[in-house]
Amino acid sequence: MRRLSIGKTRGLQRLSNEHGIMTMCALDHRGSLQRMLAAGTGREVSYRDMVEFKLDLCRAVAGHASAILLDPLYGAGQAVSAGLLPASTGLLVSLEQTGYSGRSEARITQLLPDWNARKAKRMGADAAKLLLYYRPDNDVAAQQRKTVEELARDCAAEDLALVVEPLSYPAGTGENSPPGFARVKPELVIETARQISALPIDLLKAEFPADLEYEREKRRPLDLCLRLNEATPVPWVILSAGVGFDLFCRQVEIACEAGASGFLAGRALWQEAAELGSREERLGFLEETVIPRLRTLTRLANEKGTPWHTRVRADDVDESWYGGY
> How confident is the model at residue 100, as a pLDDT?
94
What is the average per-residue pLDDT within 114-135?
Answer: 98
Number of domains present in the structure of the chain = 1
Confirm whether 160 is domain-assigned. Answer: yes
> How confident is the model at residue 94, as a pLDDT?
98
What integer best gives the mean pLDDT of the chain?
95
Which domain does 228 fall in, by range? Answer: 2-315
- Say what the pTM is: 0.95
Confirm whether 325 is domain-assigned. Answer: no
> How confident is the model at residue 278, as a pLDDT?
87
Tell me: pLDDT of 137 over 80: yes
Burial of 142 from C-beta contacts in 10 A (0-12 / 13-18 / 19+): exposed
Instruction: Identify the band that residue 19 occupies on the pLDDT scale cut at 50, 70 and 90.
Output: very high
CATH number of the CATH domain containing 198: 3.20.20.70
Confirm whether 177 is domain-assigned. Answer: yes
Task: Give dist(CA 221, CA 229) in Å, integer.
Answer: 12
Confirm whether 296 is domain-assigned. Answer: yes
Task: Give the H or E element holding residue 138.
Answer: none
Across 233-322, the runs of DSSP E, i.e. the strands, are: 236-239, 262-265, 312-314
Confirm whether 321 is domain-assigned. Answer: no
Confirm whether 320 is domain-assigned. Answer: no
Sign (positive or negative) of CA dihedral 93, 98, 102, 103: positive
Confirm whether 323 is domain-assigned. Answer: no
Instruction: Identify the band that residue 173 occupies on the pLDDT scale cut at 50, 70 and 90.
Output: confident
> How confident is the model at residue 41, as a pLDDT?
85
Confirm whether 280 is domain-assigned. Answer: yes
Instruction: Identify the band that residue 42 occupies on the pLDDT scale cut at 50, 70 and 90.
Output: confident
pLDDT tens track for 63-96: 999 999 999 999 999 999 999 999 999 999 999 9
Query: Could you give the dihedral angle defined by the CA atoms of residues 300, 305, 308 and 311, in that order, rounded to the nearest 10 degrees?
Result: -170
pLDDT tens track for 232-288: 999 999 999 889 999 999 999 999 999 999 999 999 999 999 989 789 999 999 999
Instruction: Report phi then psi at 277, rounded to 5.
Output: -80, -25
Task: Give dist(CA 71, CA 76) in Å, integer.
Answer: 5
